[in-house]
């Protein structure tokens, strides 16, 4: 399913203005950064929880 969506998005964006592509890339990068931050917070929370159980 993911491949299908990616191919269609590429086809739709073919010939799109560079500003649109740039804006979408920026949104994608922001989302990736936010996801990484959440993953880091979860990892830290799990580590803290594990440490508190050990003590």
Q: What is the pLDDT of residues 1-55, one digit of tens each?
A: 556 656 677 777 888 899 998 998 899 999 999 999 999 999 999 999 988 877 6
Q: What is the pLDDT of residue 8?
A: 74
pTM as predicted: 0.62
> Where do we find the tokens 């594990």?
50
Contact, 28 vs 35, CB < 8 A?
no
What is the rounded distance in angstroms from the CA atom of residue 10 to the CA atom of residue 37? 28
34: which 2 tokens?
């936010």
Q: What is the pLDDT of residue 47?
A: 93
């Amino acid at each position: 399913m993911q491949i299908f969506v990616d191919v269609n998005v590429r086809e739709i964006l073919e010939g799109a203005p560079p500003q649109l592509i740039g804006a979408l890339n920026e949104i994608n990068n922001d989302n990736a950064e936010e996801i990484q931050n959440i993953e880091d917070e979860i990892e830290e929370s799990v580590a803290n929880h594990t440490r508190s159980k050990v003590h």
